[in-house]
């Protein structure tokens, strides 16, 4: 099976390429960057032009330069690159002929031992496979990348060139990748595109985001050809199809790692990034590309897995309908051939005032509100620290732009804030010592509709009063934006309800995917509605903040002595009776309350990992087996976050409910039983992107009570002020999580470093819970 077999093509790709080494005889790092933006509406249809791919390519060039990849090792096909301001001239346009020529050129350039980044950004779609195709796709379709000169459907005559005119088929890309690997070349593939034939072309959230897919209708693929392909497809129910190449390459030949913007059947988005700041100060980027570049430019990532963690953390703001990136291959390989050394960038800092500096790094470099930098004053002769200004000088980011940050002096790690920065003549650099955790939730209220009825007008008035309230009187750190500005949550009054929109482009009024809402009844008052709306926003803020805080600890040293294995047990639906209220109207059961069932399958056997979002369904069960391989106790709290902002403490198998895992103890097993239908109430349960968070902290030998972060669950949110704090809450990790969940209106950011320094860590799993018969793939 080729590497792009189940790839979602159509968005923007972002990643970094391998930097050329000093000696020409040593392994080199190369990049082939392809970005297609200016699609011709006359050839395809209205609304197909993209703005992001050209910016994606420019951002990737910038990231690769930061890793010392020379311009001469980058082969770039991108239209409109000259409009981005990057000082790099493209080598051609991303047409089919030029892409194939670039494949040949890269095969000539790359030598055994080299590393090559292959990057695609643009539209993607799919087309039916010919009936006599040599390799059958399980879904009956070929994924395709759309070059600029894409045409329309020409039929399927058994030739791989047939189908959509000038389409680049997954098999062709796969053959190119295998040819590189056969030469013992390591390949990093990044594809930021969609593969979703039914994806609409409307604007996304807030009118600022759009999908990167062209529909099969626009490509002229007839319905009968699609139906025939689906009928030929193999009917399978798999969790997540693996895109890991299954070529016949022997061990020792070229490795492979891939980053895809979305799973098959999902949308990849592009839009104005980041989701903060005025529209005129931001540019269009592919969402995944933007977060890849953030991770590369910010530094501190040692492997492709570390970079994948950074990318995933960027998706925490998107809610349960967010696209789920897909990562495959040799993820533990050192990133860009760094040899284990972590890149720790330093940026120029300019004196603004006694306590204020401007740092030449911003959102594009992964800087966020609350980030802490150490300012180093340089000796102009030696370029080392200036002996007259030893510091330490720490500053905290208070205003972040695309490429610049205003920061003020602050206390940090037991050091009081310095009294003043050196004067204007000092040469200063800044290095990030704590990325911080953003805790404020941005909210935009959509303009009111015409002809509101009395109940809808009441809700509109309640929203107006809430938006104008003193922020310090609110129960959560809410940042209200003007209508149309980027925001984590958009609120709209419509059809006698207040709707809360996250990643969805518009209200989903009915069905299991219905958008979150508060129904407005005849007894509602402005004060009651304000309280209800504020309470729902607090739930969304709490979940997002806990995810952001947990993401800061993925892959940390606190997990070096905790190993985990993950298994999935799939339920077999029973024969339903005539009174069944839905396809999943049946009670779930635990197969064996003492151990993982023999029929459970590991993620490794499924060809995936905890990074990827499996597609699971009603009554499926996820098991995580945890083993303490060290010589000190480890406390682990399992928290389940559902698609409706609920937070639940999960149990362990067996009778031992303690979070403590002692050294040498038999493995402990966390289990999560999944539900898409509540059999007892007769109503559908949550569905969408859901997560399991394991909060772990290594303790001193003989530590008395186990730490349990169960206080973060929804049931404990109404804690009284006089309640005694536990050891878990007093710990650095507990303090961070408490700020995330209960910080109040003035707690807009928090620091991650203290908890990292105390051997804390987190493991995050995600899956997409889908009711039976509603598979996305």
Closest residue by Cα to residue 624 from 446, 437, 765? 765
Kindly list the distances between the CA atom of residue 647 and the CA atoms of 8, 542, 691, 712, 748, in Å, as whole numbers in the listed order: 31, 9, 10, 7, 21
pLDDT digits (tens, 9 = 90+) for 386-410: 999 998 999 999 999 888 999 999 9
* 648-658 as b/e: b if 16+ CB within 10 A: bbbebbeeeee
Closest residue by Cα to residue 167 from 224, 212, 125? 125
- CA 125 – CA 137 distance, rounded (Å): 15
Q: What is the CA radius of gyration of the chain?
A: 26
- CA angle 184–292–107, rounded 5-degree value: 25
The total number of residues written for the chain in this structure: 777
Angle between helices 526-551 and 732-742 (to 10 degrees): 150
SS3 639: strand
193 DSSP assignment: B
Residue 349 has pLDDT above 90, yes or no: yes
- The more confidently predicted of residues 752 and 615 is 615
pLDDT band at residue 493 using 50, 70 and 90 as cut-offs: very high
Residue 740 has pLDDT above 60, yes or no: yes
207 DSSP assignment: G
Task: Determine phi and psi for 433, rounding to 5 degrees.
Answer: -110, -15
* 505-523 as b/e: b if 16+ CB within 10 A: bbbbeeebeebbbbebeee
Residue 212 has pLDDT above 70, yes or no: no
Query: Encoding tokens for residue 730?
Result: 């007093």
Under 8 Å between Cβ of 329 and 255: yes
Residue 444 has pLDDT above 60, yes or no: yes
Q: Model-level pTM?
A: 0.84
For position 486, what pLDDT does the model report?
A: 77
447 contact partners, CB below 8 Å, separation of at least 6: 483
Q: Torsion over CA of 768, 770, 776 and 777, rounded to 10 degrees?
A: 80
**Max mean pLDDT range (99-108, 606-615, 694-703):** 99-108
With 0-12 / 13-18 / 19 or more C-beta atoms within 10 angstroms meaning exposed / middle / buried, residue 383 is: exposed
Residue 190 has pLDDT above 80, yes or no: yes
- CA 367 – CA 299 distance, rounded (Å): 11
pLDDT digits (tens, 9 = 90+) for 4-21: 333 323 232 323 333 333
């Amino acid at each position: 099976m080729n590497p792009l077999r189940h790839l979602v093509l159509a968005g923007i790709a972002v990643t970094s390429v391998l930097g050329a080494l000093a000696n020409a005889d040593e392994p080199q790092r190369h990049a082939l960057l392809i970005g297609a933006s200016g699609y011709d509406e006359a050839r395809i249809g209205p609304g197909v032009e993209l703005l992001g791919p050209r910016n994606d390519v420019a951002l990737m060039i910038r990231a690769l330069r930061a890793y010392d990849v020379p311009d001469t090792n980058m082969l770039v096909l991108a239209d409109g690159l000259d409009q981005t301001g990057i000082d790099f001239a493209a080598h051609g346009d991303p047409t089919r002929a030029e892409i194939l020529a670039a494949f040949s050129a890269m095969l000539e350039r790359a030598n055994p031992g080299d590393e090559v980044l292959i990057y695609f950004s643009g539209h993607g779609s799919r087309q039916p496979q010919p009936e006599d195709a040599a390799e059958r796709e399980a879904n009956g379709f070929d994924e395709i990348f759309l070059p600029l000169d894409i045409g329309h459907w020409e039929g399927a005559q058994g030739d791989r060139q047939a189908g959509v005119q000038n389409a680049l088929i997954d098999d062709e890309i796969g053959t190119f990748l295998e040819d590189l690997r056969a030469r013992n070349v390591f390949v990093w593939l990044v594809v930021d595109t969609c593969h979703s034939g039914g994806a609409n072309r409307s604007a996304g959230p807030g009118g600022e985001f759009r999908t990167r897919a062209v529909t099969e209708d626009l490509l002229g693929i007839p319905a009968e050809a699609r139906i025939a392909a689906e009928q030929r497809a193999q009917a399978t129910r798999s969790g997540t199809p693996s895109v890991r190449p299954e070529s016949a390459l022997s061990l020792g030949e070229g490795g492979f790692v891939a980053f895809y913007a979305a799973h098959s059947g999902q949308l990849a988005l592009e839009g104005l990034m980041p989701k903060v700041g005025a529209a005129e100060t931001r540019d269009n980027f592919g969402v995944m590309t933007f977060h890849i570049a953030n991770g590369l430019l910010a530094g501190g990532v040692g492997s492709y897995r570390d970079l994948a963690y950074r990318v995933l953390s960027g998706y925490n703001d998107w809610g349960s309908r967010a696209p789920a990136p897909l990562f495959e291959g040799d993820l533990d390989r050192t990133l860009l051939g760094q040899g284990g050394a972590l890149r720790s960038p330093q940026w120029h800092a300019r004196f603004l005032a006694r306590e204020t500096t401007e740092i030449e790094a911003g959102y594009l470099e992964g800087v966020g509100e609350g980030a802490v930098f150490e300012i180093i004053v340089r000796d102009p002769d030696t370029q080392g620290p200036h002996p007259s200004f030893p510091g330490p000088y720490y500053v905290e980011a208070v205003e972040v732009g695309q490429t610049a940050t205003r920061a003020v002096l602050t206390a940090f790690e037991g050091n009081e804030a310095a009294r003043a920065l050196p004067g204007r003549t000092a040469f200063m650099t800044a290095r990030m010592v704590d990325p911080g955790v953003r805790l404020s939730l941005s909210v935009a209220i959509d303009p009111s509709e015409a002809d509101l009825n009395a109940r809808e007008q009441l809700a509109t008035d309640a929203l107006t009063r809430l938006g104008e309230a003193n922020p310090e009187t609110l129960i959560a750190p809410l940042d209200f934006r003007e209508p149309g500005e980027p925001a984590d949550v958009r609120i709209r009054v419509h059809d006698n309800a207040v709707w809360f929109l996250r990643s969805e482009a518009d209200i989903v009024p009915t069905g299991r995917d219905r958008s979150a809402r508060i129904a407005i009844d005849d007894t509602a008052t402005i004060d009651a509605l304000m309280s209800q709306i504020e309470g729902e926003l607090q739930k969304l803020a709490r979940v997002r903040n806990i995810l952001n805080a947990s993401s800061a600890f993925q892959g940390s040293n606190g997990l070096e002595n905790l190993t985990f294995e993950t298994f999935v047990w799939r339920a077999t639906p029973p024969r339903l009776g005539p009174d069944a209220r839905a396809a999943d109207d049946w009670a779930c059961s635990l197969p064996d309350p003492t151990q993982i069932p023999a029929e459970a399958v590991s993620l490794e056997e499924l060809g995936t990992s905890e990074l990827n979002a499996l597609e699971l369904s009603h009554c499926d069960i996820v098991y995580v087996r945890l083993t303490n391989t060290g010589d000190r106790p480890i406390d682990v709290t399992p928290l389940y976050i559902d698609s409706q902002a609920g937070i639940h403490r999960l149990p362990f198998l067996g009778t031992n409910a303690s979070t403590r895992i002692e050294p040498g103890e038999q493995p402990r097993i966390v289990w999560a039983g999944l539900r898409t239908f509540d059999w007892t109430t007769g109503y559908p349960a949550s569905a969408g992107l859901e997560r399991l968070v394991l909060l772990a902290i290594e303790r001193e030998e003989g530590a008395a009570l186990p730490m349990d972060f169960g206080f973060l669950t929804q049931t404990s949110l109404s804690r009284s002020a006089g309640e005694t704090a536990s050891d878990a809450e007093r710990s650095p990790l507990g303090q961070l999580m408490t700020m995330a969940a209960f910080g109040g209106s003035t707690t807009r950011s928090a620091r991650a470093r203290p908890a990292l320094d105390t051997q804390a860590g987190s493991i995050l799993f995600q899956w997409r819970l889908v009711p039976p018969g509603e598979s996305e793939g």
